[in-house]
Structure formats: C-alpha cells, structure tokens
Structure 1
Amino acid sequence: MKLTKEILNKRICDVETAENPQTFLEFIRESEEQFGIKEANLNNISDSELNEYFEFLCYLWDK
C-alpha cells in the first residue's frame, strides 16, 4: 500500500486489511511519541518520503 497525504486522516482498517482503527496520522503521531522521535513536519515532505517514514515506523513496532 502506498501512503499519501490524501489518506492521512483515513482509518487504517478502512484502507488496508488491518484491525487498527487509528487514522494514519494518529498512528504516526503515537509512534513518534512512543519511540521518542521528534514530530515530522508532514506538510513539507513528499508522498514518497511520507511512505518511507510510515514504513520505518511500522518496522519499529515490529522489532
């Protein structure tokens, strides 16, 4: 799945096969808080960078 800024406020479970009821934005912000990462300025990154950042956060949860 390719994450774009257009779907940041959609629930993850509505977009892909997952049980997570958070929006993509909620997931990103919770992940940043959980792992002590400074909040990324999501308005100033490309969709490609956003997708890579999301995948990185998912990787951290899987560790």
Structure 2
Amino acid sequence: MSLKENLDKRICDVALGAENTQTYREFIRQSEDEFGIEHVPIDEFTDEELEDYLNFLDELWDK
C-alpha cells in the first residue's frame, strides 16, 4: 500500500509502535501551521516526496 493511500488513516494504525492518533494528513497540516509553513499540495506528491516531507516535519518536531 502506498503512503498516499494512508493519508487519511491514523498514524498509530499504520506505523508499528506509533502512538500518534492523528491521520497523516492531520499531522502534516498541524505541523505546517505550527511551524508557519505554507500548505503544500500533498495529494499531488509522489510516495517518495511524501515520505521525504514527513521526515522533514518529524525532524522539525524533534528540534
């Protein structure tokens, strides 16, 4: 299953060991709002671009 197909599924239901109950889409939008990032067209991203963007947002939260 592609990452794009999981955008509206809860992270904790998809990622092993994850505790976040937001959907991937909710996490992305909340992160963009929190860090003042313009919303990007995630539905147009490839799976690789989406994975890279999620990793980027994760890194921002870890700082």
Give TM-score scaled by structure 2 length.
0.90
Instruction: Look up the equivalent residue of 2:56 and give its one-letter code.
Output: F
Distance across 1 between alignment mates of 2:21 and 2:32: 18
Pick which of 25-34 and 11-20 moved more.
Answer: 11-20
Distance across 1 between alignment mates of 2:27 and 2:35: 12
- The runs of 5 or more residues in structure 2 that have no matched partner are none
- The runs of 5 or more residues in structure 1 that have no matched partner are none
Please give the per-residue CA displacement for 1:24-56, whole angstroms capped at 9, x wherever unaligned: 100000000000000010122211000000000
2:12 counterpart of 1:13: yes
Pick which of 36-45 and 52-61 moved more.
Answer: 36-45
Regions of 4+ moved over 2 Å: none
The answer for the alignment partner of 1:30 in structure 2 is 30
Percent identical: 54
Number of matched pairs: 61
Give TM-score scaled by structure 1 length.
0.90
